Amino acid sequence: MSQFALPFEWPADPRDDEFLVSSSNASAVHTLEHWGAWPVMTAILVGPRKSGRSLLARIFVAKSHGSIIDDADRVAETDLFHAWNRAQAERHPLLLVTEQAPPEWKVRLPDLRSRLAASAVARLGAPDDVLMRALFERQFVKRGLDARPDLIDWLLARIERSHIAVMRTIDVLDQHVLERRKRLSIPLARSTLREAGLVNDHAADLRETR
């Protein structure tokens, strides 16, 4: 996989953002792209909040003409059981989107549990540095914020490695810039994100001074 985050090349609704690919999610993309090689006609897409899992699922549908069940772990197990069986009978790919896969996803219905165990699992991991940088750059552009590369470097050294941390960081900085009408900078980010409890840069600052 390239070391750069790239736009996912499958067709997508033009109103959607591109799905950015890096080593942290490339395996999941490969699994969905090669749905014809699944052991059964159902797979489970697992990813944390804000990881782009729903967007990736919609792109999958556009490519495969399959079906998705979002937040599958909140759907009645009997409904999932019948959907799984229907996908096999009709040879129609079905993607179940969840935060966790079995056994973390506790499934009580034995027949459904055995069927999910036979299904391929595509996992979206925590974002690596390449994807974190791409997410920050894209979100700053979308919000119309002028973020210099040194600010993004500073954030990468301090922000938790998660998709939701990136979004919360962008939201807090965007709100602060709008309210205070100040230019986005490292000192502004440091004070704002410390106050919001999103960053503790003491350890990173120590590393920088060594």
Provide the β-strand partners of residue 68.
Answer: 95
- Give the three-class secondary structure for 198: coil
Are 64 and 93 contacting, i.e. CB atoms less than 8 angstroms apart?
Answer: yes
pLDDT beyond 60 at 4? no
d(C-alpha 207, C-alpha 150), whole Å? 16
Tokens 């750069």, residue located: 4
Sketch out the chain's domains with CATH numbers: 6-123 (3.40.50.300), 129-209 (1.10.8)
pLDDT beyond 60 at 2? no
**Mean pLDDT computed over 2-27:** 61
Quick: pLDDT tens for 158-188.
Answer: 999 999 999 999 999 999 998 888 889 999 9
* Segment holding 97, helix H or strand E: strand 94-98
| pLDDT at position 19 | 86
Sheet containing strand 42-46, strands side by side: 67-69, 94-98, 42-46, 120-123
- In which band, very low, low, confident or very high, does the pLDDT at 67 lie, cut at 50, 70 and 90? very high
Are 76 and 189 contacting, i.e. CB atoms less than 8 angstroms apart?
Answer: no
Provide the β-strand partners of residue 107.
Answer: none
Identify which of 70, 125, 122 has the alpha carbon closest to the alpha carbon of residue 96: 70
Are 141 and 157 contacting, i.e. CB atoms less than 8 angstroms apart?
Answer: no
- Give the three-class secondary structure for 44: strand
Better-predicted residue by pLDDT, 145 or 16: 145
d(C-alpha 112, C-alpha 170), whole Å? 40
Structure tokens at 23: 């080593």
Structure tokens at 194: 């410390």
| pLDDT at position 1 | 37
| pLDDT at position 198 | 93
| pLDDT at position 17 | 56
| pLDDT at position 182 | 84
| pLDDT at position 206 | 45
Tokens 């490969």, residue located: 30
- In which band, very low, low, confident or very high, does the pLDDT at 7 lie, cut at 50, 70 and 90? very low
CA atoms within a 13 Å half-sphere pointing along the CA-CB vector of 114: 3
Quick: pLDDT tens for 25-65.
Answer: 999 999 999 999 999 999 999 999 889 999 999 999 989 99
d(C-alpha 206, C-alpha 85), whole Å? 57
d(C-alpha 52, C-alpha 24), whole Å? 12
d(C-alpha 129, C-alpha 25), whole Å? 12
